[in-house]
Amino acid sequence: YEAALLRSHLILFLFFLFYLFIFFYFALANVTPYNAPPGMNAAVRATVRVGLYTGAKVFFVHEGYQGLVDGGDNIRPATWESVSMMLQLGGTVIGSARCQDFRTKEGRTKAALNLVKLGITNLCVIGGDGSLTGANQFRTEWSELLASLIKEAKKSSHLNIVGMVGSIDNDFCGTDMTIGTDSALHRIIEIVDAITTTAQSHQRTFILEVMGRHCGYLALVTALACGADWVFIPEMPPDDGWEEHLCRRLTDQRGRGSRLNIIIVAEGAIDRSGKAITCEQIKQLVSTKLGFDTRSTILGHVQRGGTPSAFDRILASRMGVESVMALLEATPDTPACVVSLSGNMAVRLPLMECVQVTKDVTTAMAEGRFEDAVKLRGKSFENNWNTYKMLAHVHPPDVKSNINIAILNVGAPCAGMNAAVRSAVRIGLLQGHQMLAVHDGFDGLAHGMIEPIGWSGVAGWTGKGGSILGTKRSLPHDFMEEISLNISKFNIHALIIIGGFEAFAGGLELVQAREKYEEMCIPLVVIPATVSNNIPGSDFSIGADTALNTITMTCDRIKQSAAGTKRRVFIVETMGGYCGYLATMSGLASGADAAYIYEEPFNIHDLEVNVEHLLEKMKTTVKRGLILRNEKCNANYTTDFIFNLYSEEGKGVFDCRKNVLGHMQQGGTPSPFDRNFGTKMGIKSVLWLTDKLKECYRHGRIFANSPDSACVLGMRKRGLVFQPLAELKEDTDFEHRIPKTEWWLKLRPILKILAKYKIDLDTSEMATMEHIVKRRGLVP
């Protein structure tokens, strides 16, 4: 019987070897032993569709490694339509399971046989470090496993592995963000915001435990996003005697007028001796020693559920595309890699290097090398920790610097502006500066609406939307004389301008005015803050992520309304002026069939192609469509025109509905990303101005007239950089208020491919393999 079985396996194997010369096959395995974070389905959808687009045959492996071992119906062909409803769903549609069998050689041999039967030699695994380590072991043993099955097998002697990291803890070294982390932060911040209102009403202290058994990322970013009084994380335990320090900190905050205290605790928090620090322990300490009304809340598995955020959907889609490209380019000598995010760039890193560094973090914590543990977590984590340290546990110095820095908001309001103002004010006070609040933008600067602002004056601002300082679109050229007089009157030494394109244009006008007004010869920095994300010098603007989430969630609801009626196409108009960022990225996040933008001109033929595409789509099981239109994409092809065109051409096949989202995109509480981004931008701007003022101090006064004394602070690829306004002027289309180069335009082909359009995918800028140890300077 065994001989006959071996012969049948050999014949079956040789049969598939013949076809391997013709087809490129790969399977998608979603493996997460402990959780399935939001955003995984977006990664699955992108991987399947791009794989099918390239001509590959794609398989689902249901129930993770257990399905790989069991085979049979657990490994099924994936189709285009099978992933149509996945994008907005949390968890994972193809299932996930812990698998003890895969830990054994016998189990991995069964898994190898199941792949060989289907001619699969490429595996895409979505999971944490344990899952990805298992995948690498499987790849390493592949030839040995085949040899144990069929001695003659030589043609399929290698298995290509690409990993995507799915974990809400963000505990995998090598990537700034893992799939699911941003969605978990959304769940946490929603709860923290709700708790804050009741805590403030009753003057309570709340202690919240968030997930993170071995990694404090969620706790740390939550603390920054809600302005917590204290955070406990496993990577950096508090010093001995922390109990006294904590009580003193809480008392000081109440003494400054605060009506509440928030303490964030990671579930893996420990003290310097390695003993666990629990919510109950902290509660007993605060209530007994200080007599404060104290409550504790353990958030639990609610952090893993819910709808994925826009960021996670886009991240997962980008990672899915990159993983397919990595598999297509892989050779037998290519090491197993993991697709990661570095700043704003997709990168490929050797899987086992990342796993080793992740293990090194655990080792460093066990040996008490906590500073090393923080550094090993990566730049993103280290920057968050340094930001938290600067804003917490520090008293403003008694010695003042005699420097006055004014802050103003300019242009349309957006979520996250207040977070930037708060952090700028507080870090300025910690530097010994006097911080001045300017109300109503350049109007207020001209009319003397300027007043000092203190530590408690910005309390609770992080989570508030809009602009508390007030903002207007006026530019300074109309009242430059008045502005120069007030700069002199209030002895302003530097300016922080937070806002949209008006802030950028206004900053340029102030620089140009230096030739006429000596008072304008002071350092200034522009912090991009606009839903349109149209500021030259920055890949992202504060407020754009919040607007993107608003659009994406609204589109989810709009699409859901057609679940019963079917055969319906929705035309949705987004904000952005002439900038198509919101339309493009929300189209990617919500699974749109098309997104019309100014930067990519279109004509009546393109509209005809889109209509025909939807007519064909209505013949499938997915009988609904979503079309996004940027508000100024075309003066003639208006939202009404496109609605009427689709209605007429789709008559008898589908009907249309029109939605103009309007100013709801500017409202709402800021997302965790915008709170954190705004906080970092505010701090970095003040520290830069402090150094710049020292450079510009001459003969007892400030004099700054060099181009690099007036900059935009922006995110560029992998980090925050300062770029002179004068240099960015050359990269600006002032007529249409957009940069001449926009990084996100390279993502538009992905949007079209995922919508099943036949186009050429530009792979010229696809990621190449890097090394985590060299990138982080961990070895010579």
575 among annotated binding-site residues = yes
Known catalytic residues are 169
Residue 343 CA, chain-centre distance (Å), reads: 9
Phi-psi category of residue 547: left, alpha or beta, with phi > 0 → left and psi -120 to 50 → alpha: alpha
67 among annotated binding-site residues = no
**CA 10, 15, 21 angle in degrees (round to 5)?**
125
41 among annotated binding-site residues = no
698 among annotated binding-site residues = no
Q: Is the CA virtual torsion 443, 446, 447, 452 positive or negative?
A: positive
Q: Rounded to the nearest 5°, which phi and psi values hold at 629?
A: -135, 120
249 among annotated binding-site residues = no
User: How far is it, in rounded angstroms, from Cα 267 to Cα 211?
Assistant: 5
> Is 365:424 a contact under the CB 8 Å cutoff?
no
Strands 655-660 and 624-630, bridge-based pairing: unpaired
51 among annotated binding-site residues = no
72 among annotated binding-site residues = no
512 among annotated binding-site residues = no
22 among annotated binding-site residues = no
303 among annotated binding-site residues = yes
131 among annotated binding-site residues = yes
295 among annotated binding-site residues = yes
What is the token pair recorded at 231?
A: 């955070």
568 among annotated binding-site residues = yes
User: How far is it, in rounded angstroms, from Cα 16 to Cα 14?
Assistant: 5
714 among annotated binding-site residues = no
663 among annotated binding-site residues = yes
212 among annotated binding-site residues = yes
Q: 240: number of CA atoms within 13 Å, CB side?
A: 3
657 among annotated binding-site residues = yes
Exposure string over 545-563, b if 16+ CB within 10 A, otherwise e: bbbbbbbbbbbbebbeebe
Q: Is the CA virtual torsion 382, 387, 389, 392 positive or negative?
A: negative
422 among annotated binding-site residues = no
Pick from 146, 126, 144: nearest CA to 60: 126
665 among annotated binding-site residues = yes
User: Cβ contacts of residue 583 below 8 Å, gap of 6+?
Assistant: 574, 576, 595, 596, 597, 628, 629, 630, 633
533 among annotated binding-site residues = yes
204 among annotated binding-site residues = yes
Beta bridge partners of 569: 625, 656
305 among annotated binding-site residues = no
353 among annotated binding-site residues = no
500 among annotated binding-site residues = no
DSSP string, 384-436: HHHHHHHHSS-PPPSS----EEEEEEESS--TTHHHHHHHHHHHHHHTTPEEE
737 among annotated binding-site residues = yes
99 among annotated binding-site residues = yes
> Is 503:410 a contact under the CB 8 Å cutoff?
yes
> Is 731:747 a contact under the CB 8 Å cutoff?
no
Both ends of the chain: CA-CA distance in Å?
A: 58
What is the token pair recorded at 264?
A: 């964030």
666 among annotated binding-site residues = yes
302 among annotated binding-site residues = yes
Alpha helix stretches (DSSP H) within 618-671: 639-649
Secondary structure (3-state) at 526: strand
386 among annotated binding-site residues = no
Secondary structure (3-state) at 342: strand
671 among annotated binding-site residues = no
In whole angstroms, how far apart are CA 177 and each of 170, 219, 343, 673?
A: 6, 14, 9, 11
Give the helix/strand (H/E) hosting 321. Answer: helix 310-329
> Is 683:423 a contact under the CB 8 Å cutoff?
yes
Task: Identify the residue whose tokens are 């902290």.
Answer: 282
User: How far is it, in rounded angstroms, from Cα 391 to Cα 224?
Assistant: 9
> Is 665:547 a contact under the CB 8 Å cutoff?
yes
**Known binding site for substrate: residues?**
167-169, 204, 211-213, 267, 295, 301-304
The binding site for beta-D-fructose 2,6-bisphosphate comprises: 473, 530-534, 568, 575-577, 631, 657, 663-666, 737
Binding residue numbers: 98-99, 128-131, 167-169, 204, 211-213, 267, 295, 301-304, 473, 530-534, 568, 575-577, 631, 657, 663-666, 737
Q: Which residues are annotated as a binding site for Mg(2+)?
A: 129
Question: Which residues make up each annotated binding site for ATP?
Answer: 98-99, 128-131
